[in-house]
Chains A and B, each alone.
Chain A
């Protein structure tokens, strides 16, 4: 396949590889961040911490 890309195949593949790494890395970071925040919120709610706990004391 690289031979089919001609004398500049390395540059083409490098461009696609770099782009794939950056965009997939970004997507992974964002999805992991959302999962971490969902878990943090679930952990707080499991402890009974929510806006209701504020209302009970006021």
Chain B
């Protein structure tokens, strides 16, 4: 564990991410291009849902990433509370807006898919409501962080809220099994294998990997921005303290 913590050194993270980021961005762009080409020009329309199935290629990766980023935040929260690791706090802070954006994309694309298929933009069923709760949790985490000025206190408070909210992740996943919902049950991540045809499954999986790499790239860039912000803040505080000492010495 000690070597893992040593690896997560902020300076080492900056060096490593500067090398990896262009490659991750390039691979993500390539996969997204191939995935959208397959999704729009090769994959057939669904026999029941027609062309609206094209919304699935955005909706499903967005839902997976919204849950994945919250799970990443929960792991980072443990890093903050148990090891008080600064990079874990930075990772948690940088992940929240990205997860919120994917949760919003999931909710919006779901609404635009639901209206022609179900006849309504919204219904208070377990899957939709638990996903809305996830989006609100993201907003709560972002608001709590901004409400507390002192970064380490804010980090611990956000970590506790994140861990409490993580109970919602299995609820989202199993909501379609535990309750009778309008939302369809899982068709890809199932123990008995996917029920979706391979002509639609492959574009979906390629896009899911492409979106995941793009989101991880964004996360690393956001972490770099946050590390720089903290460095600027520290330098300003040190400089202010130095000037204070100088003025005190001059007064004496």
Residue numbers of A with Cβ under 8 A of B are 4-9, 11-12, 14-16, 18-19, 22-23, 26-27, 29-31, 33-34, 37-38, 40-41, 44, 49-51, 53-54, 57
Assuming A8-B116, A31-B221, A54-B238, is B229 touching A23 (CB within 8 A)? no
Candidates A22, A27, A30, A41; contact of B228 at CB < 8 Å? A41
Closest to B101 in A: A26
A14 touching B221 by the CB < 8 A rule? no
Closest to B227 in A: A37
CB distance from B47 to the nearest CB of A (A): 13
Stretch at the interface among B73-81, B104-112, B198-206: B104-112
CB distance from A18 to the nearest CB of B (A): 5
Complex: how many Å from CA A13 to CA B225?
33
B101 touching A12 by the CB < 8 A rule? no
Assuming A8-B50, A22-B104, is B58 touching A15 (CB within 8 A)? yes
CB distance from A53 to the nearest CB of B (A): 6
Interface: B12 (CB within 8 A): no
Q: Please give 15 more A-B residue pairs, beta carbons under 8 A apart, in addition to A11-B113, A37-B225, A51-B238.
A: A5-B51, A6-B50, A8-B51, A12-B52, A12-B54, A18-B108, A19-B58, A26-B98, A30-B221, A34-B224, A41-B231, A41-B232, A49-B235, A53-B239, A54-B238
Complex: how many Å from CA A53 to CA B112?
57
Interface: B55 (CB within 8 A): yes
CB distance from B31 to the nearest CB of A (A): 15
List 7 A-B pairs, minimum CB-CB distance, nearest first.
A37-B228, A34-B225, A15-B112, A8-B116, A15-B109, A33-B225, A26-B101
CB distance from B46 to the nearest CB of A (A): 11
Complex: how many Å from CA A23 to CA B101?
7
List which B77-122 residues lie within 8 A (CB) of chain A.
97-98, 101, 104-105, 108-109, 112-113, 115-116
Q: List 24 A-B contacts (CB under 8 A).
A: A6-B51, A6-B52, A8-B116, A11-B55, A12-B51, A12-B52, A12-B54, A14-B112, A15-B58, A15-B59, A15-B113, A18-B109, A18-B112, A26-B98, A26-B218, A30-B218, A34-B224, A37-B225, A37-B229, A41-B235, A44-B239, A49-B236, A54-B238, A54-B242
